[in-house]
Amino acid sequence: IIILILGIVFGKPGKDGESNYRRSKNERIKMESKD
């Protein structure tokens, strides 16, 4: 379980780690662009 969390947080390649990391990164960019 901890490994999955670390994978999502650090965006390490895994089941959904990379996709989740990219998704959160895109959302972060969108929020910054709004400001």
Predicted confidence (pLDDT) per residue in 1-35, tens digit: 676 676 666 655 555 555 656 667 767 767 676 65
Neighbours of 7 (CB within 10 A): 18
Q: What is the pLDDT of residue 34?
A: 63
pTM for the whole thing?
Answer: 0.28
* Residue 11 pLDDT: 55
Distance CA 16, CA 4 (A): 9
- Residues in CB range of 25: below 8 A, 6 or more apart: 11
Tokens of 34: 């709004």
**DSSP letter string, the chain:** -HHHHHHHHHT-SSSSHHHHHHHHHHHHHHHHHH-
* Model pLDDT, residue 25: 72
